[in-house]
Amino acid sequence: AQSVAQPEDQVNVAEGNPLTVKCTYSVSGNPYLFWYVQYPNRGLQFLLKYITGDNLVKGSYGFEAEFNKSQTSFHLKKPSALVSDSALYFCAVRDGWGTNAGKSTFGDGTTLTVKP
């Protein structure tokens, strides 16, 4: 079984400040980890992924995420937040082993609000 937890329903930051959106996961095999962003009345859009290699992954719009195997975490970060970053963020995990048919499990989402 695989699962994802996003412990914060909401994160508020001021524009220009760094932001962190937290995610922890559980899988049986190797984790494939993803961050997606959802703007109002839109589908989810891919931000970044970790499969293997460097623990620090860089993605779209200046976002990055750090994979920490010992803490089973994959927190999303950005050094300087923009008002336009305000959206709903989802962490997702997929077990890289076995015939899971590509099925991803999503967290409940974290609403990021960046205030001017």
Partner 1 sequence: NAGVTQTPKFRILKIGQSMTLQCTQDMNHNYMYWYRQDPGMGLKLIYYSVGAGITDKGEVPNGYNVSRSTTEDFPLRLELAAPSQTSVYFCASITGSGANVLTFGAGSRLTVL
49 binds partner 1 (CB under 8 A): yes
SS (H, E, C) the chain: CCEEECCCCEEEEECCCCEEECCEEECCCCEEEEEEEECCCCCEEEEEEECCCCCEEECHHHCEEEEECCCCEEEEEECCCCHHHCEEEEEEEEECCCCCCCCCEECCCEEEEEEC
Which residue number, 3 or 71, has a Cβ lying nearer to partner 1?
A: 3
Which residue number, 63 or 90, has a Cβ lying nearer to partner 1?
A: 90
β-pairing verdict for 105-106 and 110-115: unpaired
Which residue number, 16 or 69, has a Cβ lying nearer to partner 1?
A: 69
Q: Which stretch binds partner 1 (CB under 8 A): 13-21, 41-49, 69-77, 78-86?
A: 41-49
29 binds partner 1 (CB under 8 A): no
116 binds partner 1 (CB under 8 A): no
Q: Which residues bind partner 1 (CB under 8 A)?
A: 4, 9, 32, 34, 36, 41-46, 49, 51, 90, 92, 94, 96, 101-104, 106-109
